[in-house]
């Protein structure tokens, strides 16, 4: 690819901040066409100096995104209690200050929401399995024997994944060269489908590990808790930690015979077992969420590093957590195929002596697409290309999902629910997955599917009392803002259409939500109100349209959408919080 001098200098600045090793031989290249400061672009801006003797690559929460996408990072990611002002609860300028990242660089764009639209147009899309494959192969060539770890939430999040019963992503994982995986949203395809993939497609190719999934009848582990692989003569254990709250956050009936949970005592036993079997390095491949991982790292000893996911936090450098047995590195590698984490360990005398870590943004404009992977993706998408490409509407605003309380695409979903189901109020789950759409970019059916494609997407219209509505909001709020991370379930606050309210994240359970109003009138605790919603976790849901049908119809009807007015609560006691822009 050809870069202008300005583009190269911007890339050079970003690469310097990120620690990329650029070929300095180009710096003294002869001036060209009268520009005496011209330099030649490096062959490979993703070149990383080799370090140590054990290397692991990690991606997580790709949510079935096979193509490059836009993805806006949040401007609201509040930390409360001991988590206030701590990683990962830093956004925007606070994030840049923490890591010394220069504003306007590629890293500033990759890791924050700042100047998002302008920067997205400048730097282009991120992710894409064909581009990720190129980067994985390059890192592997630099680091023979390295492993590729998949942190889960891989099989769900796209139309092709839903329609192929996750087979598209299974085939893509195999082509990418994944070595080890742990799950979460995978479970929403049902226990039988998960077992089928693990026992057939993955057999002898990908190790599916989860120390915290047990059978309800005999209380025995359903999957292997860990696998030990040798990297350059060093035995390395990878222990899986599946999302602990699957039967609560997702439909329990889909995995009715399995129990989950954090199970840190069982994790400690798994670590000890791995060590007793000769492991010199122990890695926890986690889908707990960052805050839960940080607490677990302080309690469980013998883990060298936690490579985590679930909360979609792009953590620039590992957090070092001290515990009774030493220190544990805790990382989180973002989402949507946007990042690839590379952890290099120097193992001497049977223990980790030093490390290096880089979370590499996957800019598709800077990485050639792997031809074989691209051919596979094209084959997967071919039967669905026409319906995915349908242009439904255009919006003057950037559409995004991430943020503790609402996102513009979430607001659009709430608006569609209220209109489509003739309800004055709507609830939409605080899902963190979903791609972004730039202003003026056609909103396609694929964009809608990226926000809604799940195996339980039926819309609902329920009659709820004001008291029930408050109880629901308080319950979800506690899942997000409980001061004990072990009682958090990840995700963001339920998105609310129509209803206005005040919210205090620092308050105790039952006291966070107040001043609820609908159409300018206080919500009556005893009165019943129609509430539209979707993604019910109940086993029996009345037959109705699917959410993507409702949203697509709404967009077809509107055709053009102006500036979106977010319905967000009035926040209390958040002044000075570094998780709020």
Backbone angles phi, psi at 445, to 5 degrees: -60, -30
CB 408 within 8 A of CB 513: no
pLDDT value at position 169?
98
224-240 per-position pLDDT tens digit: 999 999 999 999 999 99
C-alpha separations of 238 from 208, 229, 250, 270 in Å: 10, 8, 26, 10
Tokens of 564: 């979106």
CB-side neighbour CA atoms (13 Å) of 173: 35
- Residue 484 burial (CB < 10 Å; 0-12/13-18/19+)? exposed
According to CATH, the topology of domain 52-69+125-376 is Purple Acid Phosphatase; chain A, domain 2 (3.60.21)
Indicate if the pLDDT at residue 33 is higher than 90: no
Indicate if the pLDDT at residue 206 is higher than 50: yes
262-277 per-position pLDDT tens digit: 999 999 999 999 999 9
pLDDT value at position 490?
72
Indicate if the pLDDT at residue 444 is higher than 70: yes
104-155 per-position pLDDT tens digit: 999 999 999 999 999 999 999 999 999 999 999 999 999 999 999 999 999 9
According to CATH, the topology of domain 390-571 is 5'-nucleotidase;  domain 2 (3.90.780)
Dihedral angle computed from the Cα positions of residues 361, 287, 551 and 435, in that order, rounded to the nearest 10 degrees: 0
Strand order in the sheet with 391-395: 442-444, 391-395, 560-561
Measured in whole angstroms, the distance separating CA 577 from the mean position of its chain's CA atoms is 23
Average pLDDT along the chain: 92
Report the C-alpha gap between 450 and 402 in whole angstroms. 13
Radius of gyration of the chain (CA): 23
Report the C-alpha gap between 504 and 514 in whole angstroms. 8
CB 367 within 8 A of CB 355: no
Indicate if the pLDDT at residue 85 is higher than 90: yes
Indicate if the pLDDT at residue 43 is higher than 60: no
Q: What is the pTM of this model?
A: 0.92
Helices 445-452, 408-420: crossing angle, 10 deg rounding:
90
Q: Return residue ranges of the chain for CATH 3.60.21.10.
A: 52-69+125-376
Tokens of 534: 């979707």
pLDDT value at position 15?
42
Indicate if the pLDDT at residue 28 is higher than 80: no
469-518 per-position pLDDT tens digit: 999 999 999 999 999 999 988 779 999 999 999 999 999 999 999 999 99
pLDDT value at position 491?
78
Report the C-alpha gap between 397 and 90 in whole angstroms. 24
CB 291 within 8 A of CB 488: yes
Of the candidate ranges 39-43, 374-378, 387-391, 516-520, the one whose mean pLDDT is the lowest: 39-43
Average pLDDT over residues 57-86: 97
Indicate if the pLDDT at residue 167 is higher than 90: yes
Q: Return residue ranges of the chain for CATH 3.90.780.10.
A: 390-571
Average pLDDT over residues 347-354: 96
Confidence of residue 38 (pLDDT cuts 50, 70, 90): very low
């Amino acid at each position: 690819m050809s870069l202008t001098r300005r583009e190269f200098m911007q890339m050079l600045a970003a690469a310097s901040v990120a620690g990329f090793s650029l070929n300095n031989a180009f710096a003294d290249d002869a001036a060209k066409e009268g520009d005496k400061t011209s330099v030649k672009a490096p062959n490979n801006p993703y070149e990383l100096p080799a370090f140590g003797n054990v290397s692991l690559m990690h991606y997580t929460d790709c949510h079935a995104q096979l193509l490059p996408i836009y993805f806006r990072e949040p401007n609201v990611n509040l930390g409360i209690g001991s988590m206030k002002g701590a990683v990962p609860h830093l956004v925007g300028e606070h994030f840049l200050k923490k890591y010394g990242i220069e504003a306007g660089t590629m890293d500033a764009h990759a890791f924050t929401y700042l100047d998002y639209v302008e920067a997205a147009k400048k730097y282009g899309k991120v992710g894409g399995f064909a581009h990720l494959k190129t980067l994985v192969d390059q890192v592997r060539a630099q680091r023979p024997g390295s492993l590729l770890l998949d942190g889960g939430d891989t099989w769900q999040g796209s139309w092709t994944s839903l329609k192929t019963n996750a087979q598209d992503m299974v085939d893509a994982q195999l082509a990418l060269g994944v070595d080890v995986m742990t799950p979460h949203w995978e479970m929403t395809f049902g226990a039988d489908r998960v077992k089928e993939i693990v026992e057939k497609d993955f057999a002898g190719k990908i190790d599916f590990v989860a120390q915290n999934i047990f059978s309800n009848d005999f209380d025995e582990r359903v999957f292997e808790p860990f696998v030990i692989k040798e990297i350059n003569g060093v035995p390395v254990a990878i222990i899986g930690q599946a999302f602990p709250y699957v039967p609560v956050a997702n439909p329990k009936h889909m995995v009715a015979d399995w129990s989950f949970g954090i199970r840190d005592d069982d994790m400690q036993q798994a670590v000890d077992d791995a060590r007793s079997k000769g492991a010199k390095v122990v890695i926890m491949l986690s889908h707990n969420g960052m805050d839960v991982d940080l607490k677990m790292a302080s309690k469980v000893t013998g883990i060298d590093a936690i490579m985590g996911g679930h909360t979609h936090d792009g953590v620039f450098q590992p957090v070092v957590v001290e515990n009774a047995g030493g220190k544990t590195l805790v990382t989180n590698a973002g989402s949507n195929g946007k990042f690839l984490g590379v952890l290099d360990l120097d193992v001497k005398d049977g223990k980790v002596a030093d490390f290096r870590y880089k979370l590499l943004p996957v800019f598709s404009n800077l990485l050639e697409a792997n031809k074989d992977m691209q051919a596979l993706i094209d084959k997967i998408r071919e039967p669905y290309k026409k319906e995915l490409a349908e242009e439904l509407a255009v919006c003057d605003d950037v559409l995004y999902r991430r943020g503790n309380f609402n996102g513009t695409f979430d607001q659009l979903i709430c608006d569609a629910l209220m209109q489509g189901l003739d309800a004055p109020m709507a609830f939409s789950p605080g899902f963190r997955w979903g791609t972004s759409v730039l202003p003026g970019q056609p909103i396609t059916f694929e964009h809608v599917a990226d926000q809604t494609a799940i195996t339980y997407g039926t819309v609902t219209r329920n009659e709820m009392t004001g008291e029930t509505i408050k109880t629901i909001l308080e319950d979800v709020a506690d899942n997000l803002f409980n001061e004990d991370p072990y009682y958090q379930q990840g995700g963001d606050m339920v998105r609310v259409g129509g209803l206005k309210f005040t919210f205090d994240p620092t308050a105790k359970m039952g006291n966070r939500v107040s001043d609820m109003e609908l159409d300018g009138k206080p919500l009556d605790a005893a009165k019943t109100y129609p509430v539209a919603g979707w993604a019910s976790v109940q086993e029996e849901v009345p037959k109705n349209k699917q959410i993507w049908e409702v949203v697509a119809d709404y967009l077809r009807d509107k055709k053009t959408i102006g500036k979106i007015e977010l319905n967000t609560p009035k926040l209390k006691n958040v002044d000075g919080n570094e998780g709020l822009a």
